[in-house]
Chain A
């Protein structure tokens, strides 16, 4: 799997937007960009994924650069419950190999009340 690079940590004030960056300069044309997050003392949970176009769901938005070498996870209004480690993961097409998730160290997001 192609490698991703994320900042080790970020801080945000409560109720403000948060932009979590991820660099993936070696992404292949068929790699999807997935985000998972892990709240303290819990297993990871799926947040969002995309291929080329920006994506929105009830949890977050995913903005993908035109050259696909970077992406940004956007939390529109951070809450205390959003304090977690956020992982950016690249995954290939189904049937193209293993289905495992390859986690890096992620970005630890702290939300300040």
Chain B
């Protein structure tokens, strides 16, 4: 399977613990996105990388959240001192940005990591 993969698929943790999620994008995709989705809502943007550079962060990404993409391949999203409000599905997507102002990228999503904070 050459799609986007995420690990783990499910995570249950206690309030105050730290958690880390991993995303492996489609090979050679230069863009990587993180989104968060709560029940009944559409996904909300958190942050994105172009290669290893983190280019934008949403105001949803509090200082307890940190994301990295150290070699421009896989990415990790860490949440420190988890709170019950962090319970959500965390989605990763990747894309290949080409040249040309009218080119529209397609984002390919992974299956997500479902986090439950007790």
Query: Are A49 and B104 also in contact (CB < 8 A) when A103-B43, A103-B44 are?
Result: yes
Decide yes or no whether B103 CB sits under 8 A from chain A: yes
Query: Are A45 and B102 also in contact (CB < 8 A) when A100-B45, A101-B43, A105-B40 are?
Result: no
Q: Which residues of A contact B93 (CB under 8 A)?
A: 43-44, 101
User: How far is the CB of B39 from the nearest CB of chain A, in Å?
Assistant: 11
Q: Which residues of B contact A43 (CB under 8 A)?
A: 4, 91-93, 109-112
Query: Are A105 and B45 also in contact (CB < 8 A) when A43-B93, A46-B107, A93-B101 are?
Result: no
Within 8 A of A (CB), among B89-118: 91-93, 95, 97, 100-112
Q: Which residue of A lies closest to B4 (CB)?
A: A43
Tell me whether A98 and B110 are in contact (CB under 8 A). no
Tell me whether B42 and A94 are in contact (CB under 8 A). no
Tell me whether A103 and B42 are in contact (CB under 8 A). yes
Range for the number of chain B residues in contact with chain A: 20 to 34
Tell me whether A98 and B43 are in contact (CB under 8 A). no
Tell me whether A99 and B105 are in contact (CB under 8 A). yes
Query: Are A106 and B42 also in contact (CB < 8 A) when A43-B112, A100-B56 are?
Result: yes
Within 8 A of B (CB), among A1-52: 32, 34, 41-46, 49
- CA of A49 to CA of B95, assembled, Å: 15
Range for the number of chain A residues in contact with chain B: 20 to 34
Partner of A32, one of B4, B40, B56, B104: B104
Query: Are A98 and B56 also in contact (CB < 8 A) when A43-B111, A44-B43, A105-B42 are?
Result: yes
Q: List 26 A-B contacts (CB under 8 A).
A: A43-B92, A43-B93, A43-B112, A44-B91, A44-B107, A46-B106, A46-B108, A49-B104, A91-B104, A93-B101, A93-B102, A94-B102, A94-B105, A98-B45, A98-B48, A98-B56, A99-B33, A99-B97, A99-B105, A100-B56, A101-B33, A101-B45, A101-B93, A101-B107, A103-B44, A106-B42
Name the 5 nearest CB pairs between A and B, nearest first. A103-B42, A43-B109, A100-B45, A46-B106, A44-B109
Q: Which residues of B pack against A, CB within 8 Å?
A: 4, 31, 33, 35, 40-45, 48, 56, 58, 91-93, 95, 97, 100-112
